[in-house]
Chains A and B, each alone.
Chain A
């Protein structure tokens, strides 16, 4: 149930906010506080205002009007859902209902001295627009793009090949780093038991290394030349990157001083702002921020596991807050065969709006690992960047914002500070009704004030209009189950980190039974007590919730190491909506009977998806399952011999490799079709979340742990102690039986 775009002020089809940008849990908001509390569904907004454009998406219009028109009281930007009053001389704000003046340039173009049709204005026809902001929106001249790499060169980092792969990837990405105004600055620092800075002065013939061994009192050895212009010092930077792998080859240094390194990086970047990219392969051991290997596998799966998910040191969080203030964001790439305390280190990314990328057991000798890292890092460096940003969400009068979820620092009651806007991240905002809504339309506007990588100050405005209703049935029938599931996931992450994972699971189930109970109480008669009733649009909610309970972030199990658990929790907290849904409810296809001829003009066509149950697995079958972060290829025991040779280039089933592989690209139509599907998945996931999923081949009678991992994604089945889908529905039915019908 979506509002008709014809009722927007200019009647333009682009006035409806695309759900990929911003979505509300309700598509018809209850207009009284009692109604909202009666239906028990949380009111929330899931927004990703700067999501990366996928192929086929409309680009966002960029305009520079004579004046940015805003409401004089609530400062809302003019949008397609305002109303013109008093014969069009004034406009009424759709958020605070105050009447404002319409400026003259709406109807009259001062330059060409011609009348204008105001209804053609981009502000009134599009729900997602970019304004170019004038000087009043700047507190300082727009900053340039700054990338500072802090590279671990201890024993683990060199042995695993991380440094060599990273250097190569950065080298090849130098051209795609945003640098349209030639102001981009780059710096490199390497860390083991001492800090190594590099003089990258363009005049020098080769880069000069300066070692700082004083970790107590960090200082910068040079006033300049540690951070240089990319365009000027390109040659020197390339020469350094080419040699960095060899410079530390054969090192036996196992210590790492990440804390002091970050402090000095912060010192270097704080006058300007920018991005610190940490490539870490060891647990920091020296001085500030030193961490211990505190992993205790006996605690996993018990309520005490929560202690392993709490940060062990407050250093990183405090540093992140300082960084956020200086417009510096930190992104962490963690590689380690052993414990890296992601729970503590991810605080760096969490409060500065960055991301954490984790490559457990990384080994560059495996081409799959090197390929994944290189692809992700290259995309990460090359994607469009927005700097020194703040995000504010405004809602119609009567709606109050109560909680915010995502990676950011809350600078004021409703202002999210994002030193670097991460296009992969989404933010969930919980709201409540303070007073009854008086109008028929509730609007939500997200505005992000930022600096583009070209040096322009921009404002992205995303406006969502949702009708209100006084009818409880309409509220239930218009609920967006995906937005609801994603909100519950983010709330569960917060609960897991503030108390225990068990509490988070209980809270999710409790919420689901509340909602179903409310529906039952209000809309069913006592004769229907034995059936489980839900409206059509919420039919998948129990399945999504089951998927959430079985997700590696929340599953009741003792087999997930705490690094992985902390990482997955951190990911769930920021996943954009479509990605989160795929991660909770993976996509599953049968490949052994696909139509090879189905592709027209090179378009990749996916076969129909299957239910996530092993009942679908046939002995001769070949199946593909993707979660967004991984891709699994299940090979049945009795798969025909020609499939083995066509797809895997192997004579028989027994010789098909298992685990992480690169599927050979053979010249036959079947191999091309399957590779086409996998490449399409990887392409989309890279754009959506900078994720290049590994491909794992799972044989039906192969490695036990790999099989269990694959089967754990078939959420309709029973695994360990968790319910199967039919059992889960039975459990819900029992819970509902306790609720009396209305």
Chain B
């Protein structure tokens, strides 16, 4: 569980960093430090990688048999898949101002979720390390 735990921890830390960046960029947009076209170009580069990384994480949980972690992450996976299927996952420069409050809420919710996951994985990793000793 130890090495797995490190991997998972790494994935979650990356996601959290990404989200922080997104949140900072949204507030930059509101304060007019960045224009919507540049914002969308920057953020769109990370949307799919984040989803794929989360998908890989979920698969890793499945293969590893960590059922609790799997259960926790399944709603988020379903949410991401739903967005991709409806083609709403990319940011659109013409609509960004209209949908900005929604995007910000979503980012904060994800951040909170990842933070909780982080502590759970940390706990599991420590337990795993203690077990092997």
Which residues of A approach B to under 8 Å, CB–CB? Answer: 317, 321-322, 325, 351, 403, 409-413, 415
Whether the Cβ atoms of B32 and A410 lie closer than 8 Å is no
B30 partner residues in chain A, CB cutoff 8 A: 413
A325 partner residues in chain B, CB cutoff 8 A: 35, 37
B37 partner residues in chain A, CB cutoff 8 A: 321-322, 325
Shortest B40–chain A CB gap in Å is 9
B97 partner residues in chain A, CB cutoff 8 A: 410, 413
Give me the 9 closest cross-chain CB pairs, A-B, nearest first.
A412-B32, A410-B97, A321-B93, A351-B94, A411-B35, A321-B37, A325-B37, A413-B97, A413-B30
Whether the Cβ atoms of A403 and B94 lie closer than 8 Å is no
Whether the Cβ atoms of B94 and A412 lie closer than 8 Å is no
What are 17 A-B pairs with beta-carbon distances under 8 A?
A: A317-B92, A317-B94, A321-B37, A321-B93, A321-B94, A325-B35, A325-B37, A403-B98, A410-B36, A410-B97, A411-B36, A412-B32, A412-B35, A413-B30, A413-B32, A413-B97, A415-B32
B93 partner residues in chain A, CB cutoff 8 A: 321, 409
Complex alpha-carbon distance, A541 and B95, angstroms: 31
Shortest B12–chain A CB gap in Å is 33
B36 partner residues in chain A, CB cutoff 8 A: 410-412
Complex alpha-carbon distance, A411 and B37, angstroms: 8
Shortest A353–chain B CB gap in Å is 12
Tier of interface size on chain B: 10 to 19
Complex alpha-carbon distance, A415 and B93, angstroms: 14
Which residues of B approach A to under 8 Å, CB–CB? Answer: 30, 32, 35-37, 92-94, 97-98
Considering only CB atoms, which chain B residue lies closest to A324 in the complex?
Answer: B37
Whether the Cβ atoms of B94 and A410 lie closer than 8 Å is yes
Considering only CB atoms, which chain A residue lies closest to B94 in the complex?
Answer: A351
A410 partner residues in chain B, CB cutoff 8 A: 36, 94, 97
Complex alpha-carbon distance, A432 and B32, angstroms: 21
Shortest B23–chain A CB gap in Å is 17
Shortest A322–chain B CB gap in Å is 8
Considering only CB atoms, which chain A residue lies closest to B96 in the complex?
Answer: A410
Complex alpha-carbon distance, A413 and B97, angstroms: 6
Complex alpha-carbon distance, A325 and B98, angstroms: 19
List 12 additional contacts besides A321-B93, A321-B94, A413-B97; criterion CB under 8 Å.
A317-B94, A321-B37, A325-B37, A409-B93, A409-B94, A410-B36, A410-B94, A410-B97, A411-B35, A412-B35, A412-B36, A413-B30
Complex alpha-carbon distance, A415 and B29, angstroms: 12
Complex alpha-carbon distance, A284 and B80, angstroms: 34
Considering only CB atoms, which chain B residue lies closest to A417 in the complex?
Answer: B35
Q: In this complex, which of B30, B93, B98 has the most chain A Cβ atoms within 10 angstroms of its Cβ?
A: B93
Complex alpha-carbon distance, A413 and B28, angstroms: 11
Complex alpha-carbon distance, A321 and B32, angstroms: 18
B98 partner residues in chain A, CB cutoff 8 A: 403
B35 partner residues in chain A, CB cutoff 8 A: 325, 411-412
A411 partner residues in chain B, CB cutoff 8 A: 35-36
Complex alpha-carbon distance, A411 and B94, angstroms: 9
Complex alpha-carbon distance, A506 and B121, angstroms: 49
Complex alpha-carbon distance, A502 and B98, angstroms: 22
Complex alpha-carbon distance, A412 and B29, angstroms: 7
Considering only CB atoms, which chain B residue lies closest to A410 in the complex?
Answer: B97
Considering only CB atoms, which chain B residue lies closest to A351 in the complex?
Answer: B94
Shortest A195–chain B CB gap in Å is 26
B92 partner residues in chain A, CB cutoff 8 A: 317
Q: In this complex, which of B30, B35, B94 has the most chain A Cβ atoms within 10 angstroms of its Cβ?
A: B94
Complex alpha-carbon distance, A413 and B36, angstroms: 10
B94 partner residues in chain A, CB cutoff 8 A: 317, 321, 351, 409-410
B32 partner residues in chain A, CB cutoff 8 A: 412-413, 415
Shortest B39–chain A CB gap in Å is 11
A321 partner residues in chain B, CB cutoff 8 A: 37, 93-94
Considering only CB atoms, which chain B residue lies closest to A320 in the complex?
Answer: B94
Complex alpha-carbon distance, A317 and B94, angstroms: 9
Q: In this complex, which of A317, A322, A351, A410 has the most chain B Cβ atoms within 10 angstroms of its Cβ?
A: A410
Complex alpha-carbon distance, A351 and B97, angstroms: 14
Complex alpha-carbon distance, A325 and B37, angstroms: 9
Complex alpha-carbon distance, A322 and B35, angstroms: 12
A317 partner residues in chain B, CB cutoff 8 A: 92, 94
Shortest B90–chain A CB gap in Å is 9
Shortest A573–chain B CB gap in Å is 13
